[in-house]
Amino acid sequence: MKQSLTHKILSAHLVSHPSLPTPGEEIGLRIDQTLTQDATGTMAYLQFESMGLDAIKTKVSVSYVDHNMLQTGFENADDHQYLQSVAAKYGLFFSRPGNGICHQVHRERFGVPGDTLLGSDSHTPTCGGLGMIAMGAGGLDIAMALAGQPFYTPMPKVIGVKLTGKLQDWVTGKDVILEMLRRLTVKGGTGRIVEYYGEGAHNLPIADRFTICNMGAELGATTSLFPSDETTLAFLKSQQREASWLDVKADEGCGYDEHVEINLSELEPLIAQPHMPDNVVKVREVAGTPIAQACVGSCTNSSYHDLGISAYILKDKVVNPNVSFTLTPGSKQVFEMIARDKDMTLAMLIRSGARILESACGPCIGMGQAPPSGSVSVRSFNRNFEGRSGTADAKVYLASPETCAASALMGVITDPRDLGIPFASIQDPKEFFVVDDMVIPPVSDKANVKLIRGPNIKPLPHFGALPENLSGKVLLKMGDNITTDHIMPAGAKVLPLRSNIPAISEFTLVRVDPDFPKRCKEWGGGMVIGGENYGQGSSREHAALAPRYLGVTAVIVKSFARIHLANLINFGILPATFVNVADYDTIEQGDELVIENARTQIANHPETITLTNTTKGTNYQITSPLTERQRQLILAGGTLAYAKQEADKIVA
């Protein structure tokens, strides 16, 4: 039978079934590679450590440091040292701070067509641009993969996106993914893998493919991928990695569960307006809006092309006096390339007054460069959730580097076609400067490695099994599309506390209600209510771990985002959805909720569970989307508690 590329790679890694089951059923996949970044990595490795293994079991695993780079206190630096020592002890590659953003470096130096990659960061799908199945997950799932365990996820549907035509001048991969977001919305990819194919796909430069796969995360997709072709080979050659190339592609005429077609020739520059990546319009519709900041960078758009085109637009000119323009090279390799190339890209950028930042996530995650109050910032990034920039009332727009640089020059949102300058095609060089001396390979003498654990690294909290009856008040009722940035904010103040759960839990849901942590303590925990697509956005497991620490026992919503749902289960919080969505309207904060015989009910996997609102005197029916495996995890109190329970059985 003719197969999609997705099905080929999934089949080759399937360990749970003899063949691929129908969409929705849980599958277990063998994981070839893992990546972590520092903000999720510390917790992932603390969890791996608690499993008591001597070494990792994956083919290649890389620990990156790119998020917590503002060292305003000892915390981040402590975490970096811990991560370096863990890598040495267990056999991982360690990408030192300064080497670049995980997704940019991974595609340059490690990604392999046809392989699976699991990363504790939601933008791990970036490497789908090379033709791999690259998925984001919580840190605990990475720890399990490092221990050689399969990764479990619902069998996705496959959306086949046929790309025809060719992008016009000044139109980029960013505009392709913004068009996808405009059509499908931030929920449209949930439970799906997006596979691009067709002449148009082959015409796309590799940097555009990475941008499109990266921002597939904003569609809520499990991952996105392109076939591996001559462009992929040329890229791997330019990285001196042609030996890693594999010709992987879909069979001609294979079927897809769903279809989308985009004619690249018809696209024009697009922009996502505040505060959601799917709030997309043509740049010309908002052109003329005054801006205070423009930023080119992040794992979405910080390639050689992206900096090169910015330099071209700003060549021999200076950034508008009302604008602060930041530029981030995605990796040390990109940085070195722009410093050495014949166009004098770096010199042009310095000349223009651009504020050049170190190769890290930086402003994308609110690590510095917060825009002025109430102002507009145009960014080449992937997320524009309210408050994420570090300024609560800033209005963040998302657009291509071309649009960002044009806007920086003019001081107002500008379609790059309206600059009136000739188009320049910035090509990837045939050879990149390949020097891996900022990546420390696994050491052979592991016996003498000591783990370095500074005072910021607190022990993992332990959680008990699910009680027979679950009861508690509604701590908070929320609307649709609540992001993990609402549940557990990031930014310079909160991120340094990622390895300190008691401290970070004080920030849980404060963006929605500043009194939430206090109320959790006063009311002795309870349950939370949410709308559609609850927990969209990042992979941060702290958005489950911290609520669990505060005593949240159940999260009852209209629908969940994939990674957050998995994280709730990993930490023993009961996830449930309303059978009748209208019931959502009748529940209020402070209502007393009870699930009688929750343990027995869940163990017997009923179709629905009865939830009683004793304040209102009503019964609701809810369902918990649990597989048999997940049921065991919830009953035990989470994945680590389950692993311990099973290990104790063997000892006994």
Site of interaction with ligand MIC (CB under 6 A): 39-40, 67, 121-123, 136, 365, 490, 537-540
Q: Which of 31, 83, 101, 396 binds ligand SF4 (CB under 6 A)?
A: 101
Interface of this chain with ligand SF4, residues 375 to 414, rule: CB under 6 A: 382
Q: Which residues of 228-254 are buried (b: 16+ CB within 10 A; e: fewer)?
A: bbebbbbbbebbebeebbbebbbeeeb
Q: Residue 121 CB, nearest distance to ligand SF4 (Å)? A: 5
CA dist 89 and 87 (Å) reads: 6
66 is catalytic: yes
N- to C-terminal Cα separation, the chain: 48
Q: Return the one option of ligand MIC, ligand SF4, none that residue 540 interacts with (CB less than 5 to 8 A, by type).
A: ligand MIC
Q: Residue 148: which of 85, 54, 83 has the closest Cα? A: 54
The residue sitting closest to ligand MIC, measured at its beta carbon, is 538
CA dist 110 and 104 (Å) reads: 10
Interface of this chain with ligand SF4, residues 56 to 75, rule: CB under 6 A: 67
Residue 137 touches ligand SF4, criterion: CB under 6 A: no
Report phi then psi at 546, rounded to 5: -70, -45
Please name every residue paired with 63 in a beta bridge, in sequence order, or none if there are none: 36, 94
Among the listed residues 109, 192, 275, 383, the single catalytic one is 383
Residue 501 touches ligand SF4, criterion: CB under 6 A: no
Q: Residue 405: which of 416, 420, 395, 394 has the closest Cα? A: 416
Q: Which of 35, 365, 406, 552 binds ligand SF4 (CB under 6 A)?
A: 365
Strands 324-327 and 439-440: unpaired
Q: Return the one option of ligand MIC, ligand SF4, none that residue 40 interacts with (CB less than 5 to 8 A, by type).
A: ligand MIC
Cα atoms found within 13 Å of the Cα of residue 350, Cβ hemisphere only: 7
Residue 600 Rama label (left phi>0; alpha psi -120 to 50; beta): alpha
Q: Side chain identity at 402, as an amino acid letter?
A: E
540 is catalytic: yes
Q: Residue 215 CB, nearest distance to ligand MIC (Å)? A: 11
Shorter beta-carbon distance to ligand MIC: residue 309 or 490:
490
CA dist 174 and 301 (Å) reads: 8
**Which pair of structure tokens corresponds to residue 281?**
């319009």
**Which pair of structure tokens corresponds to residue 500?**
């300190």
538 is catalytic: yes
Q: Residue 327 CB, nearest distance to ligand SF4 (Å)? A: 14
Residue 123 touches ligand SF4, criterion: CB under 6 A: yes
- 489: number of Cβ within 10 Å: 25
Shorter beta-carbon distance to ligand SF4: residue 92 or 361:
361
Q: Residue 638: which of 39, 26, 47, 156 has the closest Cα? A: 47
Q: Side chain identity at 417, as an amino acid letter?
A: R
Q: Which stretch binds ligand SF4 (CB under 6 A): 56-64, 164-172, 288-296, 357-365?
A: 357-365
Q: Residue 477: which of 533, 536, 529, 553 has the closest Cα? A: 529
Shorter beta-carbon distance to ligand MIC: residue 40 or 553:
40
436 is catalytic: no
383 is catalytic: yes
Q: Return the one option of ligand MIC, ligand SF4, none that residue 298 interacts with (CB less than 5 to 8 A, by type).
A: ligand SF4
Shorter beta-carbon distance to ligand SF4: residue 296 or 364:
364
67 is catalytic: yes
Binding residues for ligand SF4, rule: CB under 6 A, are 67, 101, 121, 123, 298-299, 361, 364-365, 382
Show which residues are catalytic.
66-67, 121, 383, 538, 540
